[in-house]
Amino acid sequence: MDKIFSYKSFSDGAAFKDADAKQGIVTGYFSKFDNVDSDGDIIRKGAFTKTIKENFSRIKHLMNHNPSQPLGVIKSLIEDGNGLAYESQIGKHALGVDFIKMVESGLISEHSIGFISVKKNQLKDNADITEITEIKLYEGSSLTAWGANPLTPLTGLKAEFDVDKIVEQQKAIEKFCKNTDATDETIEMLLLHSKQLSQYIIDLKAIQPVVTTEPDLIEAIQSFRKTLK
């Protein structure tokens, strides 16, 4: 058994299915089946069957893989033809309220799972692809930026990522922060992710260094607050 804790991200048009702000219910997909990811892995339907049966009550819904940022209680986990579908009752705490706002604005479009691979094998017709057939799932995360793990903030980003998508995400963060009544903590977190993404683009040297006009985090929060008055 592979006992290495791993993260895998999933993002496409079906990342979220629905969000009911009034009831605080969010549905979507934590993982997708049958697509080869950037690590050369492919998760098959049935990989989550055992962990759902045995560990459902211990699986958490987090923000950015951060155990100190729980979003709510997972009410349902189902494997369907597309992937691992979830339904969560989002908490009424400040982060939960802000999360619903971010979902409704379209700012969050990616999910990721924290897991251990229990069973996997190389495909017979392609040794470069690893097929994962059983997973022990610990948590599903909604991400404000790609691979936004607070311990390894950019570990999920790879050189082949579309730089235009990263820039679009930065613009979405800026737009959200300027027009939201979310808490200062959430705005600070988002601006930090934006700065991380800017630095990552520079480090990749894929494009010319991005010139940012963002002030320091505290000044930015104050500026955004003034626009709300």
* Band of residue 110 on the pLDDT scale cut at 50, 70, 90: confident
- In percent, the amount of the chain with pLDDT more than 70 equals 75
69-100 pLDDT, tens digit per residue, is 999 999 999 999 999 999 999 999 999 999 99
Q: Does the predicted TM-score (pTM) go above 0.85?
A: no
- Beta strand 60-63 with 126-143 is parallel
Name the 3-class secondary structure at 13.
coil
Return the pLDDT at 150.
35
Return the pLDDT at 98.
94
* Band of residue 137 on the pLDDT scale cut at 50, 70, 90: very high
CB atoms within 10 A of CB 56: 12
* Host H or E run for residue 165: helix 163-179
Amino acid at 108: I
**Stretch 50-56: mean pLDDT, rounded?**
96
